[in-house]
């Protein structure tokens, strides 16, 4: 069987090229990504939109699917209003599934069949599991190409396992256990054994023709796609969550931003550096507080040659005074913005010959939505309203004024370090060809 297990895409892969439009049985090929996200998860309530490493779980796979540029449409099938809102915030179309396929007993196959029946224009469907947050665009691009360019009917993801398996013995049966995949007298070393291929559940792609003929997504001319273990993350129960979060921070796909070259960050003072409360002294003076961890976060970014611009509003004179004091301490520029910050910030970004993908932005409310969407790296504090959380690429664990800015700074620096590491590994891999 064919297999692909590169951990880092090569320039020659052309991962962002458009899929070839060919004609399939008299109609244009339409490749659709489909994520099933029911609201009634029993293991972790509303698991599909719970925030993992600053991003709703569903957002990780939607981002990878959109950026693979191999799908004519990206869909989320759901029965829940909150899941629908998150799906749309990440640019997906929404299929409201029927009650018949929204039960605990409903299978994924039943839901996929309902979807393709109601969307007859689709010729290839790729069912992507929402619980696989370490998927990258190149995984999906290469898998889809196995169908669209190499002629396979079905492709599914696997991971290589080196686990020795034994037969289960029922308690009190008196049976003797036996090995399934090894000879105990000739136990192989790991490096001398290829291991076994196990489904990791990340995705199952199939032509609609094959699905109709065989009744499943692994029919006719089948091929597997091998993923490396670091990308094979699945979340079923609570105990999986913290492990998955650490894995995603190291191996997840954070979008097309290039954090190693980001040189400009905009940060709202009110709501990000402050906690949103104003204190009144006995004499009637207004005061706000800041967290020293946040000012240290700004200095950490400046040490990496990133310019930090503090944003204020004429409606909040107290924050303006605070920003001026911070500017003297840290050397940050202070800029006053109106109701739509994007209008004021666009000229500055253009003046510095930057694109918005090269900008980091930290906001906290509805007026920041356009900037949060455009910026290559963006964040909001934990206590931001939903409209801002749905627009951002990272939601902090900390609230505004309580270390959120420091957390976002550490997140940026982690991504920069990760990007450098991947570029170095890419260079080593290329030299080995």
For residues 359-386, one letter each, b for 16 or more C-beta atoms within 10 angstroms of the residue's C-beta and e for the rest, the string is bbbbbbbebbbbbbbbbbbbbbbbbbee
Cα–Cα dist 377/309, whole Å: 15
Name the 3-class secondary structure at 187: coil
Other CB atoms within 10 A of residue 91 CB = 12
Q: Is 427 tagged catalytic? A: no
Cα–Cα dist 258/416, whole Å: 8
Burial of 303 (0-12, 13-18, 19+ CB in 10 A): exposed
Contacts of 109 (CB under 8 A, 6+ apart): 215, 216, 217
Of 92, 83, 129, 58, the residue nearest 139 (C-alpha): 129
CA torsion sign, 39 to 43 to 48 to 49?
positive
Name the 3-class secondary structure at 8: coil
The residue annotated as part of the active site, out of 96, 165, 187, 329, is: 187
Cα–Cα dist 310/374, whole Å: 18
DSSP letter, residue 391: T
Beta strands 23-24 and 27-28 are antiparallel
Backbone angles phi, psi at 73, to 5 degrees: -155, 150
Q: Which residues are catalytic?
A: 187
């Amino acid at each position: 069987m064919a297999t692909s297990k590169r951990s880092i895409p090569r320039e020659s892969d052309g991962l962002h090229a458009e899929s070839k439009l060919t004609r399939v049985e008299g109609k244009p090929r339409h490749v659709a990504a489909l994520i099933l996200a029911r609201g009634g998860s029993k293991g972790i309530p509303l698991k599909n939109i719970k925030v993992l490493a600053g991003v709703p779980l569903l957002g990780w796979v939607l981002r990878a699917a959109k950026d693979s540029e191999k799908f004519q449409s990206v869909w989320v099938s759901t029965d829940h209003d909150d899941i629908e809102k998150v799906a749309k915030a990440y640019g997906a179309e929404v299929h409201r599934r029927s009650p018949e396929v929204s039960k605990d007993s409903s299978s994924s196959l039943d839901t996929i069949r309902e979807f393709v029946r109601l969307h007859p224009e689709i010729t290839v469907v790729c069912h992507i599991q929402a619980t696989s947050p370490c998927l990258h665009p190149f995984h999906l691009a290469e898998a889809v190409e196995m169908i669209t360019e190499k002629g396979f009917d079905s492709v599914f993801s696997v991971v290589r396992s080196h686990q020795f398996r034994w037969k289960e013995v029922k308690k009190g049966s008196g049976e003797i256990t036996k090995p399934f995949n090894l000879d105990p007298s000739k136990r192989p070393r790991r490096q001398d054994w290829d291991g076994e291929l196990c489904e990791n559940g990340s995705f199952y792609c199939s032509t609609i023709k094959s699905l109709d003929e065989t009744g499943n997504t692994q029919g006719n001319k089948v091929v597997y796609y091998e993923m490396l273990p670091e990308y094979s993350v699945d979340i079923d129960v609570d105990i999986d969550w913290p492990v998955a979060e650490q894995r995603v921070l190291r191996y997840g796909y954070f979008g097309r931003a290039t954090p190693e070259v980001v040189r400009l960050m905009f940060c709202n003072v009110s709501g990000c550096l402050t906690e949103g409360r104003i204190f009144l002294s006995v004499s009637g003076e207004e005061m706000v507080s800041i967290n020293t961890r946040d000012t240290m976060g700004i200095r950490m970014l400046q040490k990496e040659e990133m310019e930090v611009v503090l944003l204020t509003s004429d409606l909040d004179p107290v924050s303006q005074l605070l920003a001026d004091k911070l500017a003297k301490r840290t050397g940050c520029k202070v800029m006053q913005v109106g109701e739509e910050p994007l209008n004021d910030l666009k000229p500055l970004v253009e003046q510095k010959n930057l694109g918005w993908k090269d900008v980091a932005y930290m906001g906290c409310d509805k007026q920041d939505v356009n900037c949060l969407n455009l910026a290559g790296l963006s964040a909001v504090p934990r206590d931001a309203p939903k409209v801002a959380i749905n627009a951002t690429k990272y939601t902090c664990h900390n609230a505004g004024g309580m270390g959120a800015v420091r957390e976002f700074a550490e997140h940026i620096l982690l991504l920069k370090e990760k990007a450098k590491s991947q570029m170095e590994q890419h260079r080593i891999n290329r030299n080995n060809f």
